[in-house]
Amino acid sequence: QNRLRFIVRSHQVPSDGRGYSKEHDGRCVTVFSASNYCGQTGNYGAVLVLSSDHFPKYEIYEHYASSLEDLAHAVEASNRNGARKNSVQGMQTTRRDEDEQAASVVRWDSELTRMIVATIEKKPQIWAHVVNTSSCGRMSVDVFQAIMSKFIEEPHPWGDAARHWGILAEDETVDIAIFLG
């Protein structure tokens, strides 16, 4: 065996528009640092930070850059008077906000898909835990997030997803049996 524990790769824009993607239980990470690649893809960029004290644990930081067109307008605007400059910057901000919002929708849909797939893959283990700990029925969203995070290592916004999926009750509880059923 080659005894590899962890692989970091790059030079590929993740299909979900994020700056990174994880495969094989987080042991293979693709990091793409160029946000808004070629000024038009709307993807985030990312940086992976490793700590020798806690290897192979790591942290990922995402970032986003404006389109090349917006940057060109900003440079052009910086050479003009204040009123015109503010007008151009306002248009750039609006366009950038629209781009970021569209990219955010794509990322959220991809995140939900990854969460569903991960839940399906780990469903037997989650069910076993729920049955063994007599956790069937309603539980707080915090307990729900803790259970999901225990079995699905990649961090996910389980509370936000529960709201999106309509499984979070008004009292901030989730019926785990209905969710897994």
Ramachandran region, residue 155 (left: φ > 0; alpha: ψ -120 to 50; beta: rest): beta
pTM of the model: 0.51
Exposure pattern of 7-37 as b/e (b: 16+ CB <10 Å)? Answer: eeeeeebbebbbbbbbeeeeeebbbbebbbe
Pairing label, strands 7-10, 28-31: parallel
> Residues 9, 10, 15, 16: what is their CA dihedral angle, to the nearest 10 degrees?
90
For the segment 47-94, what is each residue's pLDDT rounded down to a tens digit?
Answer: 988 877 777 677 888 887 766 676 677 667 666 655 444 554 555 566
pLDDT tens, N- to C-terminus, the chain (181 residues): 788 888 999 888 887 778 898 888 888 899 998 887 776 677 788 998 887 777 767 788 888 776 667 667 766 766 665 544 455 455 556 666 776 777 777 778 878 888 888 888 888 899 888 888 877 788 999 999 999 999 987 778 899 999 999 998 889 999 888 888 8
